[in-house]
Structure 1
Amino acid sequence: MTRQLASAFAFAWLICALGLLALLQSRLAHRWLDRTDKHHAMHAVAVPRLGGLVLITAGALSVLLVGGIDHATTLMLTISWVALLLACASFMDDILGLSPAVRLVMHLAAAATVTSASGLGLDRASSVTGVWAFTYAGLAILAILAIAWMTNLYNFMDGANGLAGFMGIIGFGTMSWVAGQHSQWSLALICAAVSGACFGFLVFNFPRARIFMGDGGSIPLGFLAASLGLYGYQHGVWTWAFPLLVFSPFVVDATVTLAKRIAAGARIWEAHRQHYYHRLILDCGWSHTRTALVYAALMVATSGYSLMLLPTRLGDGENAREIGDVLLYLAPWAVIYASLIAALEWRLRSARLRKNRA
């Protein structure tokens, strides 16, 4: 099966790279360009934004070629189909533009579909009464919100060359390796294919962006990160905190930025340039390349550390003692992120003061 995982990665990389090369040489790519006059744009030159369509197609074809769904469970098939539907709907959003309300309903519906198929919390809520029923129902609601938020935040963080590509390679690659170690081959193959497709995309997006992922790529990638994380948790591959820590560079940046915007009374549904990676480029003068490489290095560190959160070492992370163990292992990274945020805020404040004096 190790050879199949390598094949899934290689096929996805090759299909994505060849598909993007063909797309860039066609007129189709230049019919829908990312506008440079958007207030959250980070590029001075218009760039095609249909890369996500090729990325998701490459991943899907690779999975089919290596037989990744031959023995897939109902939940895995549900995740796969919903991801493809999200990719199609988000591709239409790239072309036509959908309202924030429509996108939110779409993402919540996708999250609810997967949560319902997983039975998380709902199977137990139906068999108990009183406070426990509310507790398990609350768990299902939390899962829906978490999947919807991950779906969106991956899109929010796709704003600098190579950033989303590196996160996809490292994050899904880590999940593929761990799933393979636990003989969850459908999960491992799909994650390997997504990682390989992200690698194929990165060739054309880093260090210079010749094509963007667009919502058609970033939205289903965020959805898959959360949904496949849920799948692995339910099948005993990892604890609930494992995928959270693997993708934590994205999660922390997007979540802290959202909290700051809510506190400031900003319209949180509007696009902006206030994420930390935005500010590093715009205020501190970092290049897209430096920013992406720093985030990638951080994700390599969190992914390596997250291997300590596997069920074989910490249990499933469900009872009080195991939850305490998981939180204890997360504590060092909570301190690291708090320190990084404090240092970044100080540096950004200093950069703004220098600009004001100039």
Structure 2
Amino acid sequence: ADTGDNVVRLGDEASGISQRVRGLTPGKRYTLGADVEIGPGARRATTLRVRGGTDTEARSFDITPARNRMASDEKRDTYSQRASVSFTAPRGGTVTVELGAVPGSAPVVLDDVRVMADTTAPLPTAEDGTVIAHDDFEGNQPGWGPFVKGDAGGVTDPRTSISDLHEPYSQKEWKNTYSPYDSGALKGKAVDDVLAGRHSLKSHAENTGLVHRTTPATVPFEEGRTYRVSFSYQTNIEGQWAWVTGADRVADGKTTSRDITRDVLEPALDTAAYSREIVAGCGDTWVGLRKLGSARGADLVIDDFTVTDLGVAETGAACAAVTAPNGVELSPGVPGEYVTAFTNHESA
């Protein structure tokens, strides 16, 4: 890389790297992970694969659309993000790990490849579908589970972290009793740092903008299928946070991203449940958290994030959008010109 960091850059032909890994504990879960960047504004199918015995585990994606905005990451200001695939070590304790890409002109850069023990919980089952992603934030994997940092605050070290249970100090009963906010408007409005287990994902007084989002490498939504996205949460101030469904589009050598839907999260000082069914489409679908306001002391804690595939959708995704210019004033009874733009990303 230009920074002097040694990386693997795949050629234009079908190419990749592989390594046999020995000495794994049979029956124990591991992950193969790597930092992966597919050239911005381009697509090229890239796969992390683990072969061992009769089983093969793989994770494939063809776009890395989220710019790395984590200031403490050496990959900041690139499109390199962590991707991984979990597997169970076979009886012989030996697997072959592979990272590769199909032929294509888009550069693919790999770095920080490693195999590590995986203490995250296996995917649960669902009666009405197939769970494709679940995180209770209790495992040992790096990052924020399925989420990467968004554009809130630009390239910075964010105010979001995996919170740790440290009773009583991490929980709202102690905060409200022994350390209330100085402001009367906020007094007694603390939330629990941890909703269940020993860890949750907490966003504290975040910058406005997209706080975090999924990527195709972490939650592989497929166009034309219906998904249920759910999680538990607590938050303390009205109008500060929205859960969004978005889509990335690649065209003319550029990747663009936009929100498709926004659900403003209502205040919940006790744990509440969020659930919404979405139809994937309009581009590469993602979900995430957006900070809307700048109220002091606004916290949001989530846990048990789950995405369930409910099958082929009966209708297509609603992708059309109407935009209007900022700063236009409308006064009752006063004639004026107001121009809107209608954009239709829906397929015929």
TM range (shorter): under 0.3
User: Structure 2 length normalisation: TM-score?
Assistant: 0.25
Q: Greater helix percent: which structure?
A: 1
User: Structure 1 length normalisation: TM-score?
Assistant: 0.24
